[in-house]
Structure 1
């Protein structure tokens, strides 16, 4: 690749299958980019160069013998450092887990191994996935590849930064409040959160058991689809994207557009105009209790995270970064009745999102209300006042973790400063493949980065 996504995963897969290029050569190129560029963005915590090259050699040998496994065979990928990969450290970007080595693959890693993918290593993140900026990490902050003075988003910031820097063709991340889609939007790649439970969370360090999702990031919707299908052991989809003129898109406004950076608003509205000009039907949709999303999310996520970390934070409080430790301690003060009330609120929101999707192929809204913020900034000016960065970055994504609907972010433009803007699409429960169909049709209209 001469630049970000000069070649998509599926284009590379075709060349590897045709033996126009070897997996070994591609893997060596990715490892070279990591060696030369990781200091700039700090995307990787662990690089498994020897293992990656051995896997690439095995892939080349199998393909030469006619034993092609599918689109990920011989393709270099990475894993967020919450996901167990046999023989590699799993640190969760925390001093607490220093020296921990995974004895076996998480199911998602085992599936990608069976698909013939090449494992480059483990990517940096916000400690224990408990943040939106990927700057509270025992291994230092992840930096945005577009502008290293800015956040890569989080918590799967290293995964997105690595992809945009050409350090691999797909990555596995996790998403509890937006942690795949937020960095995808901030860095300018595609991030998919499937329906809750589709990709098993076993072997993945949890943040919040009722909100955690595992999913892929890639340079294109097709690459995200191929990685998602491999993670489920599904055969590659043969479906063609639907014609844009056949699509009915529900547009979420109100709460979802009342706090938007003007450059984000401009890019979002421009995409809607292009969709309408291409024949798609745009209809206004609403989620009546959207203003309760943040409160419901916090009253579920905080106590679940605190319960998981209760023993460790009592015994080793100084092993955590201070901001993450403080958030974990906050969870101890959530009353049981408030947690139950929040879970009931989550059920109501799930019903409301499903109702908004009735008669629509997908819902559309921005992924992030703001472009990637500068590192070290706790608040930004938006509208007529200052808003906390963490709350803003979660504002438009956390709903679909609460309701468990599949959602995807794809690049839809850039600000005058060149910062990426993400378009978010949400689909019906258990219809992730249909959402991917819609996303591919829209990507064909607005282009890849």
Structure 2
């Protein structure tokens, strides 16, 4: 099925080249063909999607005002509450939970006339980065089904990459939107903390959780952000980034990194320079201990969130999530408060960093995706857990509360995608959209052709 941008869909409906029902049927057929192999969806809402599409056609024929996402088929990570639709959070414990109201963002998307295709598979309760789910099976990467799509929003990343939806909404606590975006060759944005409501999204950490869109291109990302925030973003889809100050880290983001990934990152930075951006070397000496701070806050708050479930149903969690939740009892009040204080320090430090630059460019991940089941990564004589490796470049920006986006920047010799992470100051998502769009238009035409012709 041909991939269309959201603007192309809406203009096609208005010109009567196709109808919402026809497009919805095409997406449902694609899901039926691809989901058995990729396992991106837990629940497919065929009847609801067709009913919504029919109602939208009536609305169009009646000449009524239409929303910004009119007839755009979306999916939602399965920890987003959807009224009358199974919402498992990727768990066995909540395997029968059917909410009686929508999460705030799901309701917002309905107001904008989007169509709901279903709920995507994920790492159990969003507590992980592989989406290797013990209850619903692993999500598989469309570039190579033997590999993880990243997580925790792995089903969302895989569904967008395989054109099983136009876009998806995921949650990001320490990288859970950006990691699957990088792993699946799509675009994922963690907005500034607090920009998008998390009401009705099953939490890990009220201090870190954000909601963000995963899309196939920058055009769709800008449209989604407009629909989510009621702010103008499509006006920043311009190819001119002359004079934009892009920070290149002199430390941390060039350490313990796969050589091929680093090479593709440097090529991306060079490409930004060739577009007229000004590269500025940036020292970030204050990053030590950021991963421990993320884990302390998320584990402590996650333990509180899961308190009643742990009391009744501890044995029903997957082994990895159970171990994390059990460890929450060992975190002292002093450790938790120290981590919160460290977070305040990172916010201050990055405020100073973004006085000198407009955008910080880093690798999204230190490594390409790994095979499903791989739990450790080797860097010379250093062994690291897959979790620590995959969150090493993303978690710090959750602590700092700044917007961060992963956009594709190349393909490894093994045929796996690599992501470039672009970061801006608080509430400067416009800088990410402008920079990302210019990079995309200059560099990603061949990448998109390759991705959109994947055989899955």
TM-score bracket for the superposition, by shorter chain length: over 0.9
Deviates more, 1:253-262 or 1:47-56: 253-262
Deviates more, 1:130-139 or 1:228-237: 228-237
Counterpart secondary structure, 1:290: coil
The reply on whether 1:266 has 2:270 as its aligned counterpart is no
In the superposition, relative to structure 1, how do residues 111 and 235 fare at CA in structure 2: closer, same or farther (>3 Å)? farther
In the superposition, relative to structure 1, how do residues 265 and 118 fare at CA in structure 2: closer, same or farther (>3 Å)? same
Deviates more, 1:209-218 or 1:253-262: 253-262
Taking the aligned partners of 2:65 and 2:145, their CA distance within structure 1 comes to 39
Match of 1:95 among 77, 92, 96: 92
In the superposition, relative to structure 1, how do residues 68 and 348 fare at CA in structure 2: closer, same or farther (>3 Å)? same
Where structure 1 has 5 or more consecutive residues not aligned to the other structure, the ranges are none
Structure 1 residue 359, shift from structure 2 partner? 3.0
Taking the aligned partners of 2:134 and 2:279, their CA distance within structure 1 comes to 42
For the aligned residues, what is the CA RMSD? 1.5
In the superposition, relative to structure 1, how do residues 236 and 62 fare at CA in structure 2: closer, same or farther (>3 Å)? farther
- Alignment coverage as a number of residue pairs: 446
The normalised TM-score by structure 1 is 0.96
The reply on whether 1:142 has 2:139 as its aligned counterpart is yes
Match of 1:183 among 180, 189, 193: 180
Match of 1:393 among 369, 390, 394: 390
In the superposition, relative to structure 1, how do residues 445 and 91 fare at CA in structure 2: closer, same or farther (>3 Å)? same
**Which structure 2 residues correspond to residues 232-243 of structure 1 after superposition, within 5 A?**
232-234=229-231, 237-241=234-238, 243=240
Residues 360-392 of structure 1, C-alpha deviations (whole Å, 9 max, x = no match): 221100111100111111112234543211100
The reply on whether 1:421 has 2:418 as its aligned counterpart is yes
- Which stretches of structure 1, 4 residues or longer, exceed 4 Å deviation after superposition? none
Match of 2:157 among 132, 152, 160: 160
Structure 1 residue 126, shift from structure 2 partner? 0.2
Counterpart secondary structure, 1:245: coil
Taking the aligned partners of 1:330 and 1:405, their CA distance within structure 2 comes to 28
**Which structure 2 residues correspond to residues 265-414 of structure 1 after superposition, within 5 A?**
265-414=262-411
The reply on whether 1:35 has 2:32 as its aligned counterpart is yes
Taking the aligned partners of 2:383 and 2:90, their CA distance within structure 1 comes to 30
Counterpart secondary structure, 2:307: helix
Conserved? CA contact 2:238–2:437, under 8 Å: yes
Structure 1 residue 240, shift from structure 2 partner? 4.3
The normalised TM-score by structure 2 is 0.95
Conserved? CA contact 1:361–1:438, under 8 Å: no
Match of 2:118 among 110, 121, 127: 121
- 1:74 corresponds to: 71
